[in-house]
């Protein structure tokens, strides 16, 4: 399962990409508004550092969405045009997909809606798990059912678990077989965290520094490695005189 960031904040994308774990970004009009940047400028900036950047149309009518979607598609080759799961959105998505544009159908809340997204040739469908949980439905169950239906029907549209609110959602999305999970930066950071990792790393470094201090060498993390760092076995081996002949070598054994 690929990990995407659900943000329009460049610095968050930059950080996630530097960690080597982020394969894409999803934006929506709310996230663009929160970032407080020009839509086109911000999407183009993000596309410079990561592939698979979803950018959503904000028109309401099919024909307007087609025009807008075509314009968004020219911003960058990494752009995926996002359309809502409405009849206008799907109508526009069908035309855009037919022209070779990658389409992400967003605001999906059921298996039947996901089948409609597949029918127009969407590259991605985005079921919103968190928003279903918010209304007392099981969002991850819907994600799992869409994955199962797509497998059964041999549908190639990728399932992107969206509206993720916590690390458990990420685990559940992976177990459900989602192709992608998109998450806020805060959730991505939490994926790294485990108390045993923190404690284990602290102890490793303490032990190493103590051993170095005891042997009188500098505990500098190896940045200025000294010859003394050879293992004891290696030091003994290297201290032995080199035998000059095979016979000498045999007598020394």
Would you count residue 12 as binding ligand E4P (CB under 6 A)?
Answer: no
Contacting ligand E4P (CB under 6 A), which of 3, 16, 28, 93? 28
Choice between 116 and 162, CB closer to ligand E4P: 162
Q: Which of the ranges 83-91, 128-136, 137-145, 201-209 carries the binding residues for ligand E4P, by CB under 6 A?
A: 128-136
Q: Which residue has the closest beta carbon to ligand E4P?
A: 163
| Candidate list 9, 12, 25, 26; residue touching ligand E4P; CB under 6 A | 26
Contacts by 107-116, CB closer than 8 A, 24 or more apart: 108/146, 109/85, 109/142, 110/142, 111/142, 111/145, 111/146, 111/149, 113/85, 114/146, 114/149, 114/150, 114/157, 114/159, 115/149, 115/153, 115/155, 116/85, 116/90
Residue 163 interacts with ligand E4P (CB under 6 A): yes or no: yes
Residues numbered 73-112 forming contacts with ligand E4P, rule: CB under 6 A: 106
133 forms part of the interface with ligand E4P (CB under 6 A): no
**Which residues is 25 bridged to in the sheet?**
5, 53
Question: 92 or 164: whose CB is closer to ligand E4P?
Answer: 164
- Are the C-beta atoms of residues 124 and 147 closer than 8 Å to each other? no
Query: 5 vs 97, which CB is nearer to ligand E4P?
Result: 5
Among 51, 121, 130, 167, contact with ligand E4P (rule: CB under 6 A):
130
Residue (6 or 88) nearer to ligand E4P, CB: 6
What's the CA gap between 31 and 133, in Å, rounded?
20
Q: Rg of the chain over CA atoms, in angstroms?
A: 27
Residues 180-219 that bind ligand E4P (CB under 6 A): 182
Selecting among 44, 82, 235, 252, the annotated active-site residue is 82
The only residue of 126, 150, 170, 188 in contact with ligand E4P, by rule CB under 6 A: 126
Per the annotation, the verdict on 82 as an active-site residue is yes
Count of residues touching ligand E4P (by CB under 6 A): 11
Residues catalogued as catalytic: 82
Residues near ligand E4P, by CB under 6 A: 6, 26, 28, 106, 126, 128, 130-131, 162-163, 182
């Amino acid at each position: 399962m690929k990990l995407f960031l659900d943000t329009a904040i460049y610095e968050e994308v930059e950080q996630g990409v530097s960690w080597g774990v982020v394969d894409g970004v999803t934006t929506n009009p709310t996230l663009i508004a929160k970032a407080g940047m020009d839509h086109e400028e911000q999407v183009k900036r993000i596309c410079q550092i990561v592939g698979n950047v979803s950018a959503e149309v904000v028109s309401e009518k099919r024909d307007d969405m087609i025009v807008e979607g075509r314009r968004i598609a020219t911003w960058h080759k990494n752009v995926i045009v996002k359309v809502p799961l409405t009849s206008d959105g799907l109508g526009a998505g069908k035309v855009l997909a037919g022209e070779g544009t990658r389409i992400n159908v967003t605001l999906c809340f059921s298996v039947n809606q996901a089948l409609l997204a597949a029918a127009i040739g969407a590259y991605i469908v985005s079921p919103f798990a968190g928003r279903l949980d918010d209304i007392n439905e099981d969002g991850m169950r819907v994600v799992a059912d869409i994955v199962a239906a797509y497998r059964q029907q041999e549908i190639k549209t990728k399932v992107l678990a969206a509206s993720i609110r916590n690390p458990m959602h990420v685990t559940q999305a992976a177990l459900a077989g989602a192709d992608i999970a998109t998450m806020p930066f805060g959730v991505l950071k939490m994926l790294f965290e485990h108390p045993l990792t923190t404690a284990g790393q602290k102890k490793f470094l303490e032990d190493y520094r103590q051993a170095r201090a005891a042997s009188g060498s500098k505990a500098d993390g190896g940045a200025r490695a000294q010859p003394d760092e050879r293992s004891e076995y290696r030091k003994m081996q290297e201290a032995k005189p080199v035998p000059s002949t095979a016979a000498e070598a045999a007598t020394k054994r």
